[in-house]
Amino acid sequence: MAAISSGPGQEEGATPYTTFPSFNNTFFYDVPQEQEEFSPMCHADFFNRYHSNTTSSLTSPVKIDSVQPFLDTWFGEGEAFLDEDVITNFREAHPDLPSAASFQLVHFSDNSAVVCIRGSKSYFDFLVDARLWYAASLFQLVQSAMPFGFSFDALVDFCVSRLSDIEASSMKQVSYYVETTAFVEYLLKSDVYTSVTITGHSLGGGLALITGAQTKTPAIVISAPSAVMGRSAVTPEISLDDIKRYTYAVIPQRDIISHLGGEHMNSANIKCRAGVSDPMACHMEYRSLCELMYTCGNVKRPVYCECVRQFGYPEPTAIDGSGTSFDALCEAL
């Protein structure tokens, strides 16, 4: 069996979010669901191109000593590894940068790399990240309450820009995107990797969108606030063209965070099968991954027990023909 580390906010010894019934990886949602369940996003060119690597975003909240077993189970042994040395070398080469951002680098056997940016874990993280979106969210709320509010887009952009200018110098000192953008630029200049992709969840995904647009690097995120309305609040500013060209957002149904900061320019909506009584359930990245695997077929990636036991998805099929029950194996863990 494989029990892979804790999710965000969990303490050591707590029940992990991702538990695999077997290292044999014999259970899959092999075939996409019926047409009424099938999402158009399963055919999206941008998403299909980066689907496998962007699931690395789930390693961001996982404890360092458990990341490699997670990667070995998910991608196969020898296919992906956590590269901590490159982050250490980067920070030693850039001692002037703030080093409060939390991110990881997953290096794949084909020499591609994925930068995984963690979302807010502490109260301080939340405050720092929220400062990037509070101006855009404030004016977004005002605009939505006004009749024909969409006609004030240009005015809203101007107001967000001016409000952000007031705090520009102080924000740059603490904004995590400053370091993540510098890190991605460091990777690109190294010429070590055949490709670099950025990913993240929630506010970590928001940082990934900013960094992707600033460095012109593909970024695909789950449940992240948009960078559209706050694009002038970052330094250097990012253009709508770069947001459209380099970023892609997966938006779960009823997820509030995904709608902050304006409408994403490239996005795919997915279902949330959680009850409406829990407003934050649709924001869970592990639930979203279960939905992606179930709806699109999981491309030979193993299904973890929580998809069935916690989130209520149907049992996956055992492709070895043994007739073994997925739920029974999970129950035995």
Q: Side-chain half-sphere of 157: how many Cα atoms within 13 Å?
A: 13
pLDDT number for residue 175: 77
Structure tokens of 280? Answer: 């934050």
Query: ∠ CA 284-120-249 to the nearest 5 degrees?
Result: 55
> Which candidate, 261, 224, 266, 220, places its Cα nearest to that of 241?
266
Span 94-142, pLDDT tens digits: 998 877 778 999 999 999 999 999 866 665 556 665 666 655 555 555 5
Give the H/E segment covering residue 294.
Answer: helix 285-296
For the ranges 10-24, 166-180, 182-196, 201-215, which has the lowest average pLDDT?
10-24
Span 257-276, pLDDT tens digits: 898 888 899 998 899 999 88
Return d(Cα 175, Cα 185) in angstroms, integer: 17
> Is the model's pLDDT at 310 over the cut of 70?
yes
pLDDT number for residue 196: 95
pLDDT number for residue 13: 33
Span 278-296, pLDDT tens digits: 878 999 988 998 888 888 7
pLDDT band at residue 57 using 50, 70 and 90 as cut-offs = low
pLDDT number for residue 252: 93
Q: In the block, which residue shows the tokens 């299904």?
A: 303
Structure tokens of 179? Answer: 């370091």
Structure tokens of 248? Answer: 């892609």
